[in-house]
Structure 1
């Protein structure tokens, strides 16, 4: 799915300081910080995603909920709808997650093409409503964006606390 939106470190002084401090830390400390962040942030993110998807249809939960995790690093990334394993019908969630998250403005749009006849010679025209299975347009998203808006303040504060605690322990030893 890639990145739907990001919190820029330039916008938050605390986050800028944490990024610089983490870059200056030794590799073992950075690895410990990343392990602790994954352990602390994954439950927060997954629970938020699960709560927002409670009222959505099964197909939406299947597509958007697959691959929900936190990619720890400098700085952490919240990931959802990122599974590359095809579903039973062939749909790959990370290719279609944006469409399922934001929907489409015209579910009745038709795609018309010609194809060869199966039994007799010649061709005929076929019309398909290719967007019919997508949800209606939601500019603020159905599940991932609202979950991220709810989770990001907690994620940033936990990230700051984790880095400060790890650096204090390193300097204390």
Structure 2
């Protein structure tokens, strides 16, 4: 695995509020450099400033903007190790892949309840797993904490042994439930 002088780099779409913001804050607290992608510029800048990260104005539904996001993250930070997509996982995952493949490793976590996005996560996991890229689907519940904890776990080395899996952040028990993608 290639190590950059500045440590690991995470790109989080929708980082200006809600789950995206909570994930950005947790990853920064865990020592990752966070690139905050957000369509709402004031909100995105505020989160990036609070986590000591980089803000990139991005509408995650716009493929050109998402491509520019990953290009800027790669050029500015020296690489991308983790891609977390609470918003528009399809275009964002496809845009992240070339940058993860350059280093032969990486993790994509798609946070969605949409069956099409879960199918995409499974397809990408099967297609790129042999290249050292792990792709996980996570269905978050209403509470942020279980989903944020799951993302932090999946981002770390402790999840490297897991097969492509869909996770459900269970609000009632606070547990993370796993099943095949």
TM-score, normalised by the number of residues in structure 1: 0.20
* Structure of greater relative contact order (alpha carbons < 8 Å, 6+ residues apart): 1
If each structure's strand is expressed as a fraction of its own residues, which one has the higher value? Answer: 2
